Amino acid sequence: MLLMSLKIMQNNWLKSILFFVLASVSLSSCGQGEKKTNPVDSLKKSWSQTIPGNFSDQSKAIFDSTELVSFIKNYPDFKPYTADIGDFYKRRKYSYAWFNDGVLIEQAGNLFSRVSNLQDEGVYKSAPYQKVLDSLVYNSKKEGTDVQLELMLTAQYFVFSKLAWNGMSSTVSKSLNWYLPRKKVAYNEYLDSILKIKGKAAPATEPVYRQYELLRNYLSKYRKLDSLDNWLPFTIKKGSVKPGDTSSVIPLVKARLYKLGDYHADTVNNNFDTLLATALKHFQARHGLINNGLLNTATVAELNVPLKSRIKQLLVNMERCRWLPLSLNSDYLVVNIPEFKLHVYHADSLLWSCNVVVGQTVHQTTVFYGEIQYIVFSPYWNVPPSIVQKEVLPAMRKRANYLAKEHMEITGYRDGLPVVRQKPGPENSLGLVKFLFPNSYNIYLHDTPSKSLFSESSRGFSHGCIRIQEPFKLATFLLKDYPAWSTAKIDQAMDSGKEQTVTLTKKVPVFIAYFTAFIDRDNTLNFRNDIYNHDEKLASMILSGKGDY
């Protein structure tokens, strides 16, 4: 499915990964020291703090390589990581990485804390030998340099990286119809690199798609909110409540919007004022609703979605973030199916976006990766055999002039069916231009004559291909480095009525993705409906802890 150049892309992704510095917490308490504290409890309480510090680069304190053999024998659950641990220490010549002058470095504390709090990462599995790790950390102050704790921390790092950064196996993602390329990170080299970084200027970027950390922050917020609020549903009378109205339900709405961060004013009075209208527009926009500022049935339905359902959405989309490539240093396109949007990027910069129409529930758009290779101006539409059989032939039987009216023609016969195509022109179902990225799903981007559909809030209308609201803008973007293709020439080619294909010398990656929760460029949390029912199965695997990692 993936083109040969994907290997080159993956190498580039690896090269472009920023070094990650584990945010660290202190293993010693501040103050006068009269009160004894359990270091395990202290770490669990302050695990999310970030304290930049130097990693251990000492080389004098070393241990015998045979210690690793006996360690794996004593803790067989770490056997899958034997090669990674061994490679890491071979490069270090078996010097201690987590100790400096017999004392645990700060980064060890942060790793310990995150391993102890995997649910904060959206992971419902426990790291092996958690009690042993607790005990070793607790005794570390008394015993100094400890090879068992040293190896335990390194082993736990690889466990953590697999669970929190790599996610469930590719077998799981493919079973969920996710055919985007999975990222590849050499975690043993990554660990070796972060331990060599010194100074406060070191970046704090984890080897996981940037949305992951943003969603993780909201996961914490929604869990806290869920623990404090019953989130009881409320109703309105038929129709909607408008600015200027008064209603007993308005204080409930204001209070809920306040808790969600959309409203920042008085929540007690029952007046529908302009502040509430503005808050409702904000809420509607980030839930994919028509943002008219009215308290209507659709808006109330979204306000009443249980917090536990939102938490599941966050967990599911954090897992999907683990699967994605980290970054690209080039132009690329992303279509987010539940959002009904096309996003155009250069590296990590969002350049522009536009609405799209995606496949109906019965004709789902596939989640996969491709590379745009051809732009076809004034295209023919080669009608798929399934549409010929189910739609064209019945219409031909009802109306003798159906083909002529639809600007279609029969060019031959195959497997007992006529081969039908629609001629170029403004009535063509593909519009005036299409964008091809060869794939086995017969999916591509294209223009459409049905412009009114782009104004709908839910835009699942196609047979699987993706209709673009701004095809001229996309064609101009893709051809910006081709001097022969001016905007005037592009416009002329779209209206010529004669099919013309342009081959791109530099293919442009396109990711057809599926995210029902994401953070937009304004750092605002968005939710969208799970239009293809992809979320529930993955949520069940996460919450049960039975997903294959």
- The residue behind tokens 């339900």 is 249
Residue ranges of the chain whose pLDDT lies below 70: 1-57, 142-143, 192-205
Active site residues: 446, 465
Domain count, the chain: 4
pLDDT attached to residue 205: 67
**φ, ψ for residue 16, nearest 5 deg:** -90, 0
Residues in the chain: 549
CA distances from 152 to 72, 101, 194, 326 (A): 10, 19, 18, 28
pLDDT at position 25, please?
27
Q: What is the C-alpha to C-alpha distance for residues 170 and 2, in angstroms, rounded to an integer?
A: 15
Which pLDDT value is given to residue 256?
98
pLDDT tens track for 71-127: 999 999 999 999 999 999 998 899 999 998 888 988 888 889 999 999 999 999 999
Residue 56's pLDDT is what? 62
Please tell me whether residues 122 and 203 are part of one structural domain. yes
Rounded to a whole number of angstroms, the distance between the first and last alpha carbons of the chain is 23
CA distances from 41 to 28, 46, 99, 138, 515 (A): 12, 9, 20, 10, 36
What phi-psi label fits residue 361: left (phi over 0), alpha (psi between -120 and 50 degrees) or beta? Answer: alpha
541 domain-assigned: no
Claim to verify: residue 61 and residue 205 sit in the same structural domain: yes
pTM here is 0.85
Same domain as 405, residue 450: no
The answer to whether residues 33 and 109 belong to one domain is yes
Element housing 331 (H / E):
strand 331-336
Question: In 195-341, which ranges are continuous DSSP H helix?
Answer: 211-228, 250-260, 274-285, 297-303, 307-323
Tell whether 159 and 171 lie within a shared domain: yes
Judge whether 392 lies within some domain: yes
> In which residue are the tokens 């005036």 written?
432
Give dist(CA 103, CA 141) in Å, integer.
7
Domain range for 415 is 381-423
What is the domain-level CATH number for residue 286? 1.10.101.10
Q: In 3-state terms, what secondary structure has residue 12?
A: helix
Measuring CA to CA, how many Å separate 121 from each of 213, 283, 314, 518, 528? Answer: 9, 26, 11, 16, 22
- Asked whether residue 367 is domain-assigned, the answer is yes
| Model confidence pLDDT, tens digit, residues 193-222 | 665 544 433 345 678 888 999 999 999 999
